[in-house]
Amino acid sequence: MPDYLGVEFEPLASEPTGNFSVAVAYESEESQMPADLREAYRAWHQVITDTEVVSSTLVLAGRRALGREKDPELTYGEVLFRPFHRLLDEVVKPRPGEVFVDLGSGTGRAVFVAALCWPALAACKGYEVSPPLHADAMRCHGELSGSVMAPVELHCADVLRRDDWAAADIVWIASVCLSDGTLRAIAARLAESLKPGARVIHMTEHFLRDDDAFERVEEDPIPVEMSFGVTGVFVARRRGASE
């Protein structure tokens, strides 16, 4: 039987009694989207840098620039447009006037998904410590200047040395490779500054797990496809004072 990328065949439970055929038809991801999402999808894909190029050049350049060639916290991975949009749309539910923040925004992919798909957001902000990744995000932002999108702010900064992100309504942290020390520092900032109802999206089972200031939106991990495969994602909501 020939191999088909993305298609799995299972053996029949019993021998077939006659002839039969199997047809596999390709349908693009874009064709399965609502019409109002396709323009954002096309704009996003026209400007982003291929993941393999980023991993083989920009990530290595950033590690060298920071003198952190072997730092696991600088491990690179990215969101994909449709899976990340679905996560935001179905679980996080951004509302007009809210602020989206990406801590470790890389080349800006998550920031631009939020900005393009929810143009009524007050702002979409990204914070990235690696200068080459930040520079590529700035390039993307410039090329998206004619698109309908929420205001975007991109900062080349260590998130632990900035405090202007902690008043956001939605915080995305690709936390899978962050150290426990870094996660504790971020958690303390979130608990201190986030307003009730704010949502934190992350990828670490124990992060915010035992913090009374937060509750899980869904108890089980939410499977989301990323550039490196499908992984579990968690969404925590900031409780109010009376909860």
What is the pLDDT, as a whole number, of residue 4? 47
* E strand map for 10-117: 99-103
**Where does the pLDDT of residue 7 fall: very low under 50, low under 70, confident under 90, or very high at 90 and above?**
low
Alpha-helical (H) ranges within 56-104 are 59-66, 81-87
Cα(57)–Cα(63) distance, integer angstroms? 10
Span 92-104, pLDDT tens digits: 999 999 999 999 9
What is the pLDDT, as a whole number, of residue 242? 67
Place of tokens 């009374």: 212
Residue 44 lies in a domain: yes
Contact 49, 120 (CB under 8 A): no
Span 38-65, pLDDT tens digits: 999 999 999 998 878 887 798 888 889 9
- At residue 130, the 3 state secondary structure works out as coil
The residue that leads in pLDDT, 17 or 174, is 174
Residue 85 lies in a domain: yes
Contact 108, 142 (CB under 8 A): no
Residue 135 lies in a domain: yes
How many residues can be counted in the chain?
A: 243
Name the residue range of residue 105's domain.
35-238
**How confident is the model over 177-200, as a mean pLDDT?**
94
Q: How far is CA 221 from the centre of its chain?
A: 15
Of 16-20, 41-45, 177-181, the poorest mean pLDDT is in 16-20
**How confident is the model over 81-86, as a mean pLDDT?**
95
- At residue 226, the 3 state secondary structure works out as strand
Decide if pLDDT at 23 tops 90: no
**How confident is the model over 71-93, as a mean pLDDT?**
93
Cα(151)–Cα(112) distance, integer angstroms? 10
Residue 118 lies in a domain: yes
β-bridge pairing 123-128 and 152-156: parallel
What is the pLDDT, as a whole number, of residue 60? 86
**Where does the pLDDT of residue 74 fall: very low under 50, low under 70, confident under 90, or very high at 90 and above?**
confident
Residue 226 lies in a domain: yes
Residue 9 lies in a domain: no
Cα(195)–Cα(44) distance, integer angstroms? 30
**Where does the pLDDT of residue 1 fall: very low under 50, low under 70, confident under 90, or very high at 90 and above?**
very low
Cβ atoms within 10 Å, residue 121: 22
User: pTM of the full predicted structure?
Assistant: 0.87
Span 135-145, pLDDT tens digits: 999 999 999 99
Number of domains the chain contains: 1
Residue 243 lies in a domain: no
Place of tokens 């199997």: 22
Of 127-131, 154-158, 239-243, the poorest mean pLDDT is in 239-243
Q: Any idea what the CATH number is for the domain that residue 78 is in?
A: 3.40.50.150
**How confident is the model over 25-42, as a mean pLDDT?**
82
Residue 101 lies in a domain: yes
